[in-house]
Structure 1
Amino acid sequence: MKKSGSNRSNFIILTSLLVLYLAGYIIYHFVLQLNNLNTVYLLYLLITSILSVLVISIDEKNYLLLSGSFILVSIHITLFVIENLHLFGIEDVYLLDSFNHIVTTIGLIMFVMGIYIEITRNHKRDKMNHLSNELNESFYMEYLNKTNELLIEFSNQFINKHGLTTDRMSIDKDTYKTYILPDDAHINPFDIDAKYRIKFPGMKDYITILMKGDISVTDRIVYMGFDVSSRERILKRFSQLEQEYEKVLKLGSDYICKLSKDGIFQYASPRYAALFNLKPDQLIGRSIFEVSNEVKWFLEAVTNKTDTRGFGKFKSENDVWISWNNSVTVNDKGEVESVISVGRDITDLVLLNKSLEEQSNHDHTTGLL
């Protein structure tokens, strides 16, 4: 996989300008018998080189290189002025010349250190891109504006997973579009965050890719495509399980609700909502403190961060006795995220117990066996 075109271009320009500057500096300071025209030309060359480095250092946010370049530009302009002070009758420039050499040395040190930092950064970028190439199932793509050509380079992981026989290919846009599943033909494959299914030559099945990039670099546009097929399958399966879970809850006989840590209903089964003579969508988003006076169990669960159990009677057309199991969910920081409450109708059991108690009392009173 290639590294960023902008970083690579800046690095090449930076290295070239460094060589150019050092060559000019050596010639200017150590080659004798230069006439004024040559002197002006070399000063112009040096200042132009350093100004270019100055621009690149701003782009790369290399402040040490920026400072060194700024000092060198200023010093070279000052040097030109010093060498022409005799035109104004000033001959003794020893102190100015000494100061100039000291500051020039400092500027050169900062300049070289800035170059070193830039080389180190590029080395890190190479390592990071290499790791990305080894670990990600992705491909790098450049679109050349002038030739309408696409240059595609596949990562090792992508090649190994899909059995490709080549690590790169050069095609035009129209050919690339023929690799896309016809059902996804309406999607612009070069949009940011475009997601579509594609099958490159040599692949057995279509895969889902997510495009990132759309970064303009001089005469080309750079993209990265990531294979997200596994993630899509997981999300699809999760969606199916969620739907199945919803159906089970709707068909189930239990009373189920999910509350946020602040007591806001996030889910309510139809039977639970019916306890308040509401439908689930009328209950979701409302606070338990708004619809019920029985909130002690919720406050206890949230405050103590522990699961609780209990039972209670709900009055509707017929009194309903419900046994509750309340479960607290916490995040990795130990903070309460939600409370899930599941209730089961135990009315028949309660009525049976009452009936047995009444029979027992009756037998005890009458003395009948």
Structure 2
Amino acid sequence: MAPYESDDAVGAARDEETRSGRRKAARYAVPVAVVGVAAATIGLVPALADSGDPDLPKVTAQQLIDKIAKSDVQQLSGTVKISTDLGLPDLGGLESGLASGLTQGSGSGSAADPRSRLTELVSGTHTLRVAADGPDRQKLSLLEQGSEYSVIHNGKDVWGYDSKSGQVSHGTEAAAGKDRRAEPPATPGDFAEQALKAVDDTTSVTVDGTAQVAGHDAYKLLIKPRQSGTTVGAISIAVDAKTGMPLKFTLTPRSGGAAVLDAGFTEVSFARPAASTFDFTPPKGAKVTEQKDGKGPDEGAAKPGSGKGLEGEGAKGLEGTKGASGGTVLGKGWTSIATFDTGAKGGLPTGAKGSDLGGVLGSLGDKVSGKFGKGTVFSTRLINALITDDGKVYAGAVTKDALVKAANAGK
């Protein structure tokens, strides 16, 4: 068995990673359901070049973690391909109604509002163009067939533009700071940052050879849970050998098959982008919606990085703490389960006025029962959630049996 780092070394790595994360120029929010419970024990296993892969100097996992933490890329431009396969069912055209019910009250209602547009990244394959020039200028464009959606941060202004509808969303840097959901996911580094936030003994982290990603030599960092009962199989992060910036992030489920999340650069340059990249003027006749500095119907909701709801500072820091709506996190590491009481009897939400969201959700879930009473479990290839008939919710990257056991223990 390989030796492991001391607790002091592991803690120091986590602190350095947190400080470095605050420096990064192109920092965006992360889908919280993907890597909110990641944790790590650092294995001192050196990287060995596989046949056909770059022959790089040997490094330990601890050294690679340090390299990521110290990475401070200020300028870049490139293309990122993101594929998400949660195994969500085909709703036969009901997707829009379901999404409306689940997101009612969030965002400004504009087709250019990042808070509503980011739900598109939950499934399917998407191509993003990203660019950054220091902490004050970033741009992300979601490329679609015949259209494009862009978020541009230039100085104090944050613009969202949907070319298909011609709508524009405008806010300020201060507003975006109050509502992190206005910051879309952009690069593999965004996902890697969350996966490495918490460090404890529930996970093994080793170096798993080398690779070439977007023409750059890279080391592969492998993160695997030690706990049973989780739906997570492994996380692989390809780290640029020169800059330490993550170039590719892949999360595979324990059940096998295709990756749940695969995000990687297909091309990337660390040269300074042209200043005109970040220029934006609303097209003539465009409908411009002004954001209200984070104030609105969704103020106070759980925000990425706020420690509320299902996310926060990692499983170790969240254990037994209070979250949004009086929620708590049970357990630790990969088998953490977030639980809260909706206060709604009858279990399933009804959704927007005139919609049958409860009926739609009920048809997609599995009925379960136990000491807690009765409820419905909704399953994906990664995240499962139990909604009991008395309005309690249990959710995490855990099996259905683990959710039922947690609900039984809660009675």
Instruction: Normalising by structure 2, report the TM-score.
Output: 0.16
Larger relative contact order (CA 8 Å, sep ≥ 6)? 2
- As a proportion of its length, which structure holds more helix? 1
Larger Rg: 1
Instruction: Normalising by structure 1, report the TM-score.
Output: 0.18
- As a proportion of its length, which structure holds more strand? 2
